[in-house]
Each structure stands twice: as C-alpha cells, then as structure tokens.
C-alpha cells in the first residue's frame, strides 16, 4: 500500500503541472514506471537521466544497507522509504531512456561530464564501508554519507531544470530537487537528534 501511495503522489505531481481549465488533464498512469516521457528531448535531458540512474543505483545500495543495519527505527524507516520511491523512479528513468533509444548506463569517463560539473558519485569504497562500520557508529556514518549523496541529486536536478527541454524530465527534476532537499533536512535533524 505504501508503494502505491508513493507512486500515486509522484504521478499526481508529474501529471498535474501545466493543466488549465480548458486543457483536459493528462491520463494518469497506474504506476510511476508507466509514465511516458514524450519524444522531445535534448542532450541535457538524456545526461540527467543517465547520471541519475547511476546515482540512484548507488542510493538503493545504501538504502538497502541502511534498512538492514540501522538500529534506530527512524533511520531504518527513512532507508525503506527511499528504497520504495527510488526503485519506481529508476524503472521510469530507464523506460524513458529506452523510449528515446538511449543507453541506460552512464559513460563514466570524467571528460564526458566535465561541462556538466562532473559525475558526482559516491565511491564503491564509501558504500562498502557502511557494511563494515561498527554498529555504534552506523547511523552517523550512514546519515553523513547518504546526506552528501542526496545533495548531489539536488545539484543534478538543478542542472536539468536550467538546461533540459523535456517537460516530463523537468517536472521529475523538480520533484527530485524538492524530495531530496527534504531528505537532507530530515537527515540533518536525525544527526542532531
């Protein structure tokens, strides 16, 4: 049920923008992954989705570790909520890239992304450290790493908002910016609580 509510909220936030009384509302998809992107896009839209696919795959690894290792229920709940939301978003982004005939994997050569601020990425070593850090330090280590990770998502979303052309991708970027900013604030409260 929770997954459905998260998906419904994203569908509503993506589908409601730009409607007017004269314009019939866009058809509502029953699943976030079923939302179509449309055929108009630019290189920025493609790069945003490719970079965010990579980013969210890392985020899902961290969230899975957080959900299984956290002893604080508020931290475990945050990790589980991220798993639900980002799994659906990941499927949607891959569908959009496939719809456009573009690879779903990002080219990780630094030079390719230099004009776009580089490819912000959490390293494999940082993610692996969450598996081995002591139990007493886990929540602090997880929240600090995941906070920085989600801040990077906000930066990627802003680049899409500045230079993307696909309306669905831009609406999604706005949603990412808002939700990840909220998560950063929540993690700051959890660290200070």
In tens, the pLDDT along 109-143 reads: 544 444 445 555 789 999 999 999 999 999 999 99
pLDDT at position 107 is 74
C-alpha 85/C-alpha 87 separation (Å) is 6
Q: Specify the 3-state DSSP secondary structure of 182.
A: helix
Q: Is the pLDDT confidence value at 11 over 80?
A: no
CA distance 31 to 10: 9
CA dihedral 82→160→54→39, nearest 10 degrees, is 100
* Segment 21-75, tens digit of pLDDT: 343 344 445 566 678 888 899 999 999 999 999 999 999 999 999 999 999 999 9
Contact 59, 149 (CB under 8 A): yes
Confidence of residue 12 (pLDDT cuts 50, 70, 90): very low
Could you tell me which residues come within 8 angstroms of residue 147 by beta carbon, excluding any fewer than 6 positions away? Answer: 184, 187, 188, 191
Beta carbons within 8 Å of 190's beta carbon, 6+ residues apart: 72, 74, 75, 78, 139, 143
Cβ 51 vs Cβ 97: under 8 Å: no
pLDDT tens digits, one per residue of 64-102: 999 999 999 999 999 999 999 999 999 999 999 999 999
């Amino acid at each position: 049920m929770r997954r459905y509510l998260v998906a419904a909220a994203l569908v509503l936030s993506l589908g409601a923008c730009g409607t007017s009384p004269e314009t019939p509302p866009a058809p509502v998809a029953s699943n976030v992954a079923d939302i179509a992107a449309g055929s108009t896009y630019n290189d920025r839209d493609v790069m945003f989705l490719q970079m965010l696919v990579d980013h969210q795959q890392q985020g899902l690894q961290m969230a899975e570790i957080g959900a299984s290792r956290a002893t604080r229920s508020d931290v475990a709940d945050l990790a589980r909520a991220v798993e639900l939301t980002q799994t659906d978003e990941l499927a949607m982004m891959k569908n959009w890239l496939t719809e456009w005939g573009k690879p779903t994997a990002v080219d990780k050569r630094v030079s390719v992304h230099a004009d776009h601020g580089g490819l912000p990425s959490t390293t494999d070593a940082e993610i692996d450290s969450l598996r081995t850090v002591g139990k007493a330090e886990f929540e602090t280590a997880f929240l600090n790493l995941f906070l920085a990770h989600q801040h990077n998502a906000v930066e990627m979303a802003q680049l899409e908002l500045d230079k993307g052309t696909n309306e669905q991708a831009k609406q999604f970027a706005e949603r990412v910016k808002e939700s990840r900013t909220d998560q950063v604030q929540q993690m700051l409260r959890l660290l200070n609580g």
